Amino acid sequence: MRELVAMVQETGRYPSRTSTNPAEWTLASWLERRRHDAAAGTLAPALREGLDVLPDWQRLPRPVVDEARWQDRLTALKAYLAAGNDWPLHKSFVTGAEHGLGVWLHSQRQKAHRGELDPAKTRALDEAVPGWRAGRQRGRKPGKSNQPDQRPETARPVAQS
């Protein structure tokens, strides 16, 4: 623990599991186990007190936070659509929750198109919000007739030959 505290205070950052330095990788693994213990409520009080000198030491690693955020946005999109809204737009003239969800959904569509979207996320989207790949259809809003306005034709005289 002393090595971890010294490294964070010296460098201003936490150790990385992707480091090429074996000592840093070991510290990162140790900290990850302590974070897990703290989340499970099994971390020894002495270790907790020692680690509490470090700011945000319990903060989850980025991939875990990113996955939780992705799941939160999927849940929010499902609720948004269940409330009777059409697919959210990502254009700049849209604001608020619709814009945030629209940008997120647009990026998922782009990743899927490029083959970069994780297959598990693709399945989750397919199950939660079928039709997510197509989204809004261009043209008239749903429920409107796709036929042009029907106006009575004015009578024209037919030319006789």
- pLDDT digit string (tens) for 74-108? 999 999 999 999 999 988 787 888 999 999 999 99
| Residue 24 neighbours by CB under 8 Å, 6+ apart | 7, 15, 16
Q: At what angle do helices 62-82 and 119-128 cross, to 10 degrees?
A: 20
Tens of pLDDT, residues 100-149: 999 999 999 999 999 999 999 999 999 999 999 998 877 655 554 433 44
Judged by DSSP in three states, 143 sits in coil
Do residues 23 and 6 lie in contact, with contact meaning Cβ atoms separated by under 8 Å? no
Predicted TM-score (pTM) of this structure: 0.55
For residues 3 and 45, what is the distance between their CA atoms, to the nearest angstrom?
19
Task: Give the whole-angstrom CA distance, residue 129 versus residue 113.
Answer: 17
